[in-house]
Structure 1
Amino acid sequence: MAKITYMLKGVILVMVLALGSCTKWNYHDGGLSDGVHDCSMWEYFHTQPHDWDSTMIMIEHAGLKELFEGRGEHEQITFFGVTNLSILNYMLQNGYKRVIDIPVEDCKNILCKLIVPKRLMVNDIPRGQIIANTGEKVDGMEAQTLRGSVFMWTHQEPYMQIEEAGEVSLYIRTNSGSVSFRVVSTDIQTNNGVVQAMGYAFDLNKI
């Protein structure tokens, strides 16, 4: 087990270093990643295997591939996309060697908490916040997911001391979670939905 743990840590370290040194990093904080893709969400994942290959394994293991191909019950979805490094971290924290060692129901539970059965772009989500001391949700937007619900809100930074003139960021918190997470690449559009890609620090144990 110790050897496996060190191997996983090594893989994670290599991925972080590689991504940090890449001049065409796929993710830009608060930015748009590759814009519009004239294909299904599943086909889009295939074009970016360095970010999504473990995600695809998890999706197939959970029996949800048709949904991402656009052949499932829902014609349009929004996926708060969990990427490879988050999955590797989850495996390390829970003692799994391979994605397929994660119980099927656990994979399905994780993914379904992150799928809204309609198309949502950043412009659809109003400004809001969660008050740190009380946990009170202010404005923003609540949406049903395939398992539970998610509270979403946007925040616009000032620019040159002008309020709400800067970068717009998207944040989420699931109804079963106690931690808020920022979406790092927004509005990745495909024919059957939108990917709002989560960061590499997205902790699957806290959703």
Structure 2
Amino acid sequence: MKKIIFLVALSLAILSLGSCTQYNFDDTGVANGKHETTMWDYFKGDKYNWQLLCEMAERADLVSVFQGTSQYGKNFTFFGPTSNSIRRYLYANGMDKVSDIPVADCKKFILDCLLPGKRVMLDDFKEGVKSTDPSTPVGKGGEMLTMASGKQLWVYSFRESYNGVAHAGPLQIYLVSPSTTKTSHVASCNIETLTGVVHSLDYNFTLGDF
């Protein structure tokens, strides 16, 4: 009997360890907390999610942005595309590696995701309601933000439903590009480093969706 109980406990422990890995980005909008490091070192410390972004930053000569030594200083918000998003772009465009992406495109893709001048946390985004008209992607509320590239994005927060109850679930962040009409969702937010705030775009995002 003791042996059976031990085996059951061991199995449950293994399952619990396997169900939560560093590779998961849960679509919950929960905060990831503070990191006592630069954004660059934060990215370098998680190769699975950020390796290809680091390669893009190096190719575009934008490493200083994430180190906090560029013209943007340490006061900015970055909507980070993960390696899955970059890999999908490479595949769709017949490319094998980041070095195949033109330098100018690498720079534009990164600056499209960078909001200069302020650190914006989840609760700071203005709530909004998505548009129901496909020809008019910008809905009500929210805020039109100008990124470092000059690209404009309509960004809003929205509290999802929970157990069938409207607005009882987690608060989420959405970004809408008026130019492409595509909506992107933030999967993991409030990653605060010494040089800025990161909101990680979910794996369905593809470079160019902005």
Pairwise TM-score range, normalised by the shorter structure: 0.7 to 0.9
What amino acid maps onto 2:121 in structure 1?
A: M
Q: How many residues are aligned here?
A: 187
Does residue 192 of structure 1 match 2:190?
no
TM-score by length of 2: 0.83
RMSD: 1.7
Distance 1:96 1:161 in 2: 43
Q: Which sits farther off after the overlay, 54-63 or 32-41?
A: 32-41
What's the counterpart of residue 32 of structure 2? 34
What's the counterpart of residue 111 of structure 1? 110
Secondary structure at 2:65's aligned position in 1? helix
Q: Please give the residue correspondences for 1:114-153 in structure 2 after superposition, counting only pairs within 5 Å.
A: 114-117=113-116, 118-133=118-133, 134-147=136-149, 148-153=151-156
Query: Does the aligned pair in 2 maintain the 1:27–1:33 contact within 8 Å?
Result: no
How far residue 153 of structure 1 moved from its aligned partner, in angstroms, is: 0.5
Q: Is the alpha carbon distance of 1:136 and 1:197 closer, same or farther for their aligned partners in structure 2, counting shifts above 3 Å?
A: closer
How far residue 33 of structure 1 moved from its aligned partner, in angstroms, is: 5.6
Q: Is the alpha carbon distance of 1:88 and 1:189 closer, same or farther for their aligned partners in structure 2, counting shifts above 3 Å?
A: same
What's the counterpart of residue 18 of structure 1? none
Does residue 59 of structure 1 match 2:57?
yes
Structure whose alpha-carbon radius of gyration is higher: 2
What's the counterpart of residue 66 of structure 2? 68
Secondary structure at 2:55's aligned position in 1? helix
What amino acid maps onto 1:156 in structure 2?
A: R
Secondary structure at 1:85's aligned position in 2? helix
What's the counterpart of residue 42 of structure 2? 44
Secondary structure at 2:190's aligned position in 1? strand
Distance 2:82 2:165 in 1: 34
Query: Does the aligned pair in 2 maintain the 1:30–1:170 contact within 8 Å?
Result: no
Q: CA deviation digits over 1:118-158, x for unaligned, max 9?
A: 21111111110231313343110121111122211111123
Decide which structure has greater helix share.
Answer: 1
TM-score by length of 1: 0.84
How far residue 183 of structure 1 moved from its aligned partner, in angstroms, is: 0.4
Secondary structure at 1:165's aligned position in 2? coil
What amino acid maps onto 2:144 in structure 1?
A: E
Query: Does the aligned pair in 1 maintain the 2:29–2:173 contact within 8 Å?
Result: no
Give unpaired runs (5+ residues) of structure 1: 1-20
How far residue 98 of structure 1 moved from its aligned partner, in angstroms, is: 1.2
Secondary structure at 2:199's aligned position in 1? strand
Distance 1:61 1:157 in 2: 38
Give unpaired runs (5+ residues) of structure 2: 1-17
